[in-house]
Amino acid sequence: MFSSVKLVVTKIQVWLQAFRLRTLPLATSSIVLGSFLAAAEKSFNLKVAALCFATAVLLQILSNLANDYGDSQHGADSSYRQGPERAVQSGRISKTAMRNALIVFTGLCLLVGYFLIKDESFYFHAAGIAAIVAAVAYTVGPKPFGYAGLGDIFVLLFFGIIGVFGSYYLQTHHLNWLILLPAFSCGLFCVAVLNINNIRDFQSDKLAGKRTIPVRLGETRARIYHWLLLIGGFTSALIFTFLNFKSVWQLAFIVVVPMIWENGFGIYLKFDANELDPHLKEMAIITLLFSFSFGIGILL
């Protein structure tokens, strides 16, 4: 009996590791920011915000599972990979079980997404389907776009523009194109997280033919690119603030500057994968902290 319980607990732990829970705060950063922006216009809707959070988390888990499955298929999860060991690669989860999990989470995304946007226009339904397809097609399929170096564009689009602007609009039903500025900030910071991941996996990705931005640019220029992402994200937030300036509290997001500075130099100066990995988690925290501090600043 105890051995059976232990086996079940172990299986749960394996699946939780495959979900990559540390990435979930990043998935919700855009929803946090969009909800704060809606609240600043006195249009915060708890039900809509909760459904946005649930959809974002489910999409992130779907993407993580798809990456685990797809990279094992295409050879990116080889013995040369220096990041955390993947579930399919290690044999702890079979390919069949992972495929079934992809089907389950695709269904959950469709279900929760339906309740979120059932009364919205065709454009939201199209964006919802596109988000699910993008989550899977990043690494799964004969021509995954992540292997063509297009991952950064899709992260900017879904984790920034659609995530922030979409969650804002679903609560306010109001178009304010200036919201695209903080949406770009959030999106660029999320791209920075992906960039760290791709710099860390540079060698294994290159051997597997995964043409990520760091593989295309080279390791040194990929680190310069990282600085551009950080500076671009912060500058976009500054522009929005000065265009809508009412109080010094709106500059609360500058609390992330020391962390951005440390992250930028950490990535620029370190080349060992084990030293780079902690900066990935750090960048995810920076993104979430930025969303909260920017949003709270607007409310105050």
pLDDT in tens, 122-152: 888 898 999 999 888 888 877 787 788 888 9
Highest averaged pLDDT of the listed ranges 25-29, 252-256, 265-269 = 252-256
The span from the CA of 28 to the CA of 30, in Å, is 6
The pLDDT of residue 272: 82
Q: Which of 271, 268, 199, 275 is nearest to 230 (CA)?
A: 268
The pLDDT of residue 9: 64
Place of tokens 């979930």: 24
> What is the per-residue burial (b if ≥16 Cβ within 10 Å, else e) of 178-196?
ebbbbbbbbbbbbbbbbbb
Q: How confident is the model at residue 43 (pLDDT cuts 50, 70, 90)?
A: very high
Residue 79 has pLDDT above 60, yes or no: no
The pLDDT of residue 12: 80
CB 152 within 8 Å of CB 194:
yes
The span from the CA of 185 to the CA of 234, in Å, is 6
Tokens of 31: 């929803």
The pLDDT of residue 85: 64
Q: How confident is the model at residue 267 (pLDDT cuts 50, 70, 90)?
A: very high
The pLDDT of residue 30: 95
Q: What is the mean pLDDT of the chain?
A: 88
The pLDDT of residue 83: 54
The pLDDT of residue 259: 96
Q: How confident is the model at residue 3 (pLDDT cuts 50, 70, 90)?
A: low
Average pLDDT of the segment spanning 243-252? 93
The pLDDT of residue 183: 97
Domain ranges of the chain: 26-299
- Express each pLDDT in 179-224 by its tens digit: 999 999 999 999 999 999 999 988 888 887 888 999 999 989 999 9
Q: How confident is the model at residue 14 (pLDDT cuts 50, 70, 90)?
A: confident
Tokens of 141: 């399929």
Residues 6+ apart with CB under 8 A from 163: 29, 30, 31, 34, 56, 183, 186, 187
Average pLDDT of the segment spanning 222-233? 96
Residue 236 has pLDDT above 90, yes or no: yes
The span from the CA of 241 to the CA of 235, in Å, is 10
